[in-house]
A and B are shown apart, each in its own frame.
Chain A
Amino acid sequence: MIDNLVQPFIEFAFMRRALVGSLAISLTAPPIGVFLVLRRMSLMGDAMGHAILPGAAIGYLLAGLSLFAMSLGGFAAGLAVALAAGLVARSTVLREDASLAGFYLVSLALGVMLVSMRGSSVDLLHVLFGTVLALNDGALILIASIASVSLVTLALIYRPLVLECFDAQFLRSVSPLSSTTHLLFLVLVVLNLVAGFQALGTLMAVGIMLLPAVAARFWAEDVGGMIAVAVASAFGSSVTGLLVSYYVNVPTGPAVILACGAFYLLSMLVGVRGGVLWGLMPRKHLEA
């Protein structure tokens, strides 16, 4: 039995690379996802997938089908959208979700227009998005570096970040770090997403960021605990997804995300903090 679980990784280099890549993304994306969930920005990942299009389009217009140019452009566009949305949310009556929705749609429309102007119908995003089965050296180094940078940055801004999630006004009143923290956090989000898209494709990048974080809510009360559960479940789901894709012959990205989803449903039912089934069990009445 253990033999079966380990054998695909022994035999094939691409499986080993997929494992390493998944581990890297499981270390870096779920902690960010936990914060996104806490700040009610959960749909940002999906919006980012569309928002990066004009940047990729400009990269393509300038440099042709160069993955580097398109990724750089995509990162710039994503950052612009994220920062603009963040700025608007902090200084106007709009909240995060509305401001993000506005900007990402503008960005997407701009991107579609730019792509059509060139006349060619190369599906840019199709070319830009990778798959976990095809992680070459460049992609692995990219994800690993971003994981390192993210973890260090998160460690540095951990306390103001947590405080900002729960009482942003207080932080603003006692410290000038509030804006910097917010900005750095947005940079991390966009960095992880764009790198994730390029290496793993949209589904896996956004899925690994959010699903484990959402599931972790049912297991821990403090942020540290949630991060730990999220990272563990992300990696567990990645391994499960890879093995299922190998033995049952289904596409890998969806298999990993469905594994995350299964854990999410399980958490919702039997999670220690707020699992639905525990709530349905009869409890003793409080008596004087």
Chain B
Amino acid sequence: MRNRLLTLIAFAFVMLGFSGAAHAADKVSNDKVASDKVKAVSSFSILGDMVKNVGGDRVEVTMLVGPNGDAHVFSPTPADAKMLAGADIFFVNGLGFEGWMERLENASGFTGALVVASGGVMPITMHEEEGHHHGVEAGDEQDHGTADHDEDEATDPHAWQNLYNGEIYVKNIRDGLIAVDPDGAETYEANAAKYLAAIEAQDKAVRAAVAKLPKARRKIITSHDAFGYFGNAYGLEIIAPEGVSTESEASAQDVAKIIRQIREEHIPAVFLENVTDRRLLDQIAAETGAKVGGTLYSDALSDEDGPAPTYLDMFRHNVGALTAALSS
């Protein structure tokens, strides 16, 4: 009896010792040792590219969901938690894009700055009954603030597909970096200004390209509804069998509606995406005779040697593919 009691007490002390050590280790890893660069983590590749452009040499960026990755179904690993724990600043998209974000933050014990890049963006909501249609009509203009998808309508998180929102992202990134690293304020302001100018130029180019397309042909089919903001901003109608997230599964009625619509309206092209399974779209294209117009980059950039390694390249590639298929 006495032995058991002693063992129990000893065990309790050992546990206290462990938790103390863990706590101490925690503190050490969180000390921001004066290193050269700001350690930034971005949730996905598009955001990562923007941070690189604003941060320049002063910032070291790592991405949780890399090129060609699907952030909708991403599942963080302990390695990710470890990487986040050592970071100074964490950039996320918000609007419900990263369902795993809170858990990862808690698990990693992250104490740095969190920047929601979409802060201040006017979100679009999805209206499920309309068969995932995003048209030239203006989306819902209510400001939903932070991601609250407990409502009937899901918020569309793909705000970066509108270059105007891209500018808001860049400004939020710039402000976030300045807050964490005030010494670099001048560099960040300069980089951001240059990048914003490039974005504006690209915006004009997109509008010019779309304006050249005949009005009746400004409709496309993609696998999931990632181009709502793009469609709204630049005047294209986007039709998709899957909803706003790749996690949802298509129903036979959705696919049938799309096929009927393609047949009736003679929609010329179907576009694959780099993050979803292409077979459903292939099936739709085969059945309707619509052309597979190439790959569009929606939620992730391509590899370094792919056609869309940066945010602006992504737009150039997407618009190129769209105009090529829709103008012929």
Contact B73 A126 (CB under 8 A): yes
| Min CB gap A215→B, angstroms | 24
Contact B253 A247 (CB under 8 A): yes
- Let me know if B265 is at the binding interface, CB within 8 A: no
Contacts of B74 in A (CB 8 A): 121, 123
Contact B65 A15 (CB under 8 A): no
Contact B253 A246 (CB under 8 A): yes
Partner of B256 from A15, A122, A123, A254 at Cβ < 8 Å: A15
- Let me know if B137 is at the binding interface, CB within 8 A: no
Contact B279 A121 (CB under 8 A): no
A1-28: contact bitstring with B at CB < 8 Å (1 yes, 0 no)?
A: 0000000100111110110000000000
- Let me know if A216 is at the binding interface, CB within 8 A: no
For the complex, give the distance between the alpha carbons of A127 and B70 in Å.
10
Contacts of A242 in B (CB 8 A): 252
Name B's A-contacting residues (CB within 8 A). Answer: 64-70, 73-75, 77, 79, 246, 248-256, 259, 277, 279-280, 282-284, 286-287
Contact B250 A133 (CB under 8 A): yes
Contacts of B246 in A (CB 8 A): 126
| Min CB gap B117→A, angstroms | 19
Q: A121-B64, A123-B70 are in contact. Are A133 and B253 (CB under 8 A)?
A: no
Interface residues of A in 244-285 (CB under 8 A from B): 245-255
Q: A14-B284, A127-B277, A134-B280 are in contact. Are A251 and B251 (CB under 8 A)?
A: yes
For the complex, give the distance between the alpha carbons of A235 and B79 in Å.
45
| Of listed A8, A123, A136, residue having the most chain B CB within 10 A | A123
Name A's B-contacting residues (CB within 8 A). Answer: 8, 11-15, 17-18, 112, 116, 119-123, 126-127, 130-131, 133-136, 139, 242, 245-255
Contact B252 A136 (CB under 8 A): no
| Min CB gap A20→B, angstroms | 13
For the complex, give the distance between the alpha carbons of A250 and B252 in Å.
7
* Chain B residue with the shortest CB-CB distance to A139: B279
Contact A14 B287 (CB under 8 A): yes
* Chain B residue with the shortest CB-CB distance to A123: B73
Contact A8 B67 (CB under 8 A): no
Contact B287 A13 (CB under 8 A): yes
Contact A250 B251 (CB under 8 A): yes
Contact B66 A8 (CB under 8 A): no
For the complex, give the distance between the alpha carbons of A132 and B257 in Å.
17
Contact A133 B283 (CB under 8 A): yes
Contact B66 A121 (CB under 8 A): yes
| Min CB gap A78→B, angstroms | 20
* Chain B residue with the shortest CB-CB distance to A14: B283
For the complex, give the distance between the alpha carbons of A247 and B66 in Å.
39
| Min CB gap B58→A, angstroms | 24
Contact B259 A12 (CB under 8 A): yes
Contacts of B282 in A (CB 8 A): 134, 136
Contacts of B69 in A (CB 8 A): 120-123
Contacts of B66 in A (CB 8 A): 119-121
| Min CB gap B164→A, angstroms | 29
Partner of B68 from A120, A130, A251, A253 at Cβ < 8 Å: A120
For the complex, give the distance between the alpha carbons of A11 and B201 in Å.
46
Contacts of A126 in B (CB 8 A): 70, 73, 246, 277
Contact A116 B252 (CB under 8 A): no
Partner of A245 from B252, B259, B287 at Cβ < 8 Å: B252
* Chain A residue with the shortest CB-CB distance to B44: A121
Contacts of B279 in A (CB 8 A): 130-131, 134, 136, 139
Contacts of B249 in A (CB 8 A): 131, 251-254
| Min CB gap A243→B, angstroms | 8
* Chain A residue with the shortest CB-CB distance to B69: A121
Contacts of A255 in B (CB 8 A): 251
Q: A116-B77, A122-B69 are in contact. Are A18 and B252 (CB under 8 A)?
A: yes
Contacts of B250 in A (CB 8 A): 131, 133, 251-252
For the complex, give the distance between the alpha carbons of A127 and B255 in Å.
19
Contact B287 A8 (CB under 8 A): no
Partner of A135 from B65, B79, B248, B283 at Cβ < 8 Å: B283
Contacts of B75 in A (CB 8 A): 123
Contact A15 B68 (CB under 8 A): no
For the complex, give the distance between the alpha carbons of A121 and B282 in Å.
24
* Chain B residue with the shortest CB-CB distance to A199: B279
CB-based closest 3 A-B pairs: A251-B249, A134-B279, A245-B252
For the complex, give the distance between the alpha carbons of A253 and B251 in Å.
9
Q: A121-B74, A130-B277 are in contact. Are A249 and B251 (CB under 8 A)?
A: yes
Q: List 30 A-B contacts (CB under 8 A).
A: A8-B256, A11-B256, A14-B255, A14-B284, A14-B287, A15-B256, A17-B283, A119-B66, A120-B69, A121-B65, A122-B68, A122-B70, A123-B74, A123-B75, A130-B277, A130-B279, A133-B252, A133-B280, A134-B282, A136-B279, A136-B282, A136-B286, A245-B251, A246-B256, A249-B251, A249-B254, A250-B251, A251-B249, A252-B252, A255-B251
Contact B259 A134 (CB under 8 A): no
For the complex, give the distance between the alpha carbons of A246 and B254 in Å.
8
| Min CB gap B261→A, angstroms | 13
* Chain A residue with the shortest CB-CB distance to B277: A127
* Chain A residue with the shortest CB-CB distance to B76: A121
For the complex, give the distance between the alpha carbons of A126 and B68 in Å.
13
* Chain A residue with the shortest CB-CB distance to B283: A134
Contacts of A252 in B (CB 8 A): 249-252
